[in-house]
Structure 1
Amino acid sequence: MTRTIRKGLSTNRWFTLVVLLLAGSVFSAGVIAAGKPPPLPAHSLYQLTLPLTDQDGQTADWGARRGKPQLVAMFYTSCKFICPLIVDSGKAIERQLDAKQQQKLGILLISMDPKRDVPKALKSVADKRKLDATRWTLASPRQDDVRTVAGLLGIRYRLLADGEFNHSSALVLLDANGRILARTEKMGSQPDPEFVAAVKNALR
């Protein structure tokens, strides 16, 4: 009888130890999950601190978009020619995706004209073009950051005497950590097939 009781106590102690070890593992995992995210990769564009104010007047660093792939382009709201084609291009790529893929992709249009592209102007374009705010963000950086972000995205621009801009246009695909995966300068309703393939691959 004595041996049986001791054996039972030993089993209970073992069970308790296992429970404590499992609880400790869960706690450690929770601490890791609740802690800081891992460092950004060396080539991440999110290494640059870039506060952006969106069409709803909310300001956040573009690094907050980390976590899912992004289509990024530069534009300005008063543009009558190229910039509407940039929006058309983003919509055309969306049409190549199913609903689940669309929800995994963010589309960010960054203004090169922050002095005029205040939230009201950005929202006007978003509403007029019927851009889904759950996927599309139109935002303005600080004036001092425009040239820096344009350089990172490979966008050339020049302010003209009449207040308009002469600029190149491109859609840049970033992975979930802000690294450039692909780029296209083909604008319009017929998207570049290779670029669409790159987008779909990034969403897998």
Structure 2
Amino acid sequence: MLCEGAKFYDEAGSCPVCKMDLKQIEKASKEMETDEISEESIFNLMSKWHTEEGKEIQLEDLKGKTLVVVMIYTSCKAACPRLVADMRNIEAQIPDEKLKDLTFALVSIDPETDTPERLKAFAIENQMDDEQWTFLHGTESGVREFANVLSVKYKEISPIDFSHSNIISVFNAKGELKHQQEGLGVDNKETIETILQLIQ
């Protein structure tokens, strides 16, 4: 005798047809939920990127870890070194054993100059070549789209100079924006608190 196929029951008991015990599958569906990407997630962006190692990825490949993102360009002499220092300062306040749950991503707004090779050299020069650091090189349109999502405004003012927003963004493991820190050398207490809550 066939049972009732894919029918679901809300309460424990037994199958009215074969009398087998009904098993709860709430846990499985909860796991399925965790894999789902919400409409607010940056992982919906389909743009292709190259890491400083030359590996092609999509933002979704960064899923599963808390993500701290800043947009910079390597030839910047003013704001970007301060933003890099702010990122290093945030990293320094995270317990070492928690760093494995974090990705610090630096996204170049100057894809023409900041090739993956140049980003790699910049990472080494700034002692940001550990596993938790990722540098991203994208297309003009991919960078512009990502900047819009982050509310980062930037404008080329000469072939080697850009004016840009100074924003550090924190995303949860599903790519949903949870906090933004704006300005240079600002008090990052709230940023640290957000990160620590997300990686608990």
The TM-score with structure 2 as length reference comes to: 0.80
Contact 2:75 2:160 survives alignment (8 Å): no
Deviation at 1:39, TM superposition (A): 2.7
Q: C-alpha offsets along residues 33-84 of structure 1, whole Å, 9 cap, x if unaligned?
A: 9x9x833112111111121111111111011000011001111111111111
Higher strand share: 2
Q: Does 1:170 align with 2:167?
A: yes
Matches of 1:102 and 1:163, distance apart in 2? 33
CA contact (8 A) 2:74 2:122 kept: yes
Verify: 1:40 aligned to 2:40, yes or no.
no
CA distance in 2, matches of 1:128, 1:113: 18
Q: 1:199 aligns with which of 171, 195, 198?
A: 195
Structure 2 unaligned spans of 5+: 1-27
Larger % of helix: which?
1
CA–CA distance in 2 between the matches of 1:123 and 1:114?
A: 13
Query: Structure 1 residues 59, 191: closer, same or farther in 2, change over 3 A?
Result: farther
**Cα distance in 1 between the residues matched to 2:161 and 2:84:** 18
2:81 corresponds to which residue? 84
Work out whether 1:136 is the aligned partner of 2:120: no
Tell me which residue corresponds to 1:65: 62
Aligned partners of 1:68 and 1:56: how far apart in 2? 19
Structure 2 counterpart of 1:3: none
Among 158, 167, 183, the alignment partner of 2:155 is 158
Q: Does 2:112 match 1:115?
A: yes
Give the conservation status (yes or no) of the 8 Å contact 1:170–1:184: yes
2: CA distance, partners of 1:148 / 1:117: 18
Larger radius of gyration, structure 1 or 2?
1
The answer for unaligned runs of 5 or more in structure 1 is 1-28
Q: Is the 8 A contact 2:108 2:136 kept in 1?
A: yes
Counterpart of 1:106 in structure 2 is 103
**Correspondence for 2:72:** 75
Query: What's the secondary structure of 2:158's corresponding residue?
Result: coil
- Whether the 8 Å contact between 1:186 and 1:192 is mirrored in structure 2 is no
| Cα displacement string for residues 88-126 of structure 1 (whole angstroms, at most 9, x for unaligned residues) | 111101111111112211000111111111111101110
Query: Under a length normalisation based on structure 1, what TM-score does the superposition of the two structures give?
Result: 0.79
The 2-side partners of 1:201 and 1:137 are apart by: 22
Report how far residue 169 of structure 1 moved: 1.1
| Backbone CA RMSD of aligned residues | 2.4
AA in 2 matched with 1:152? V
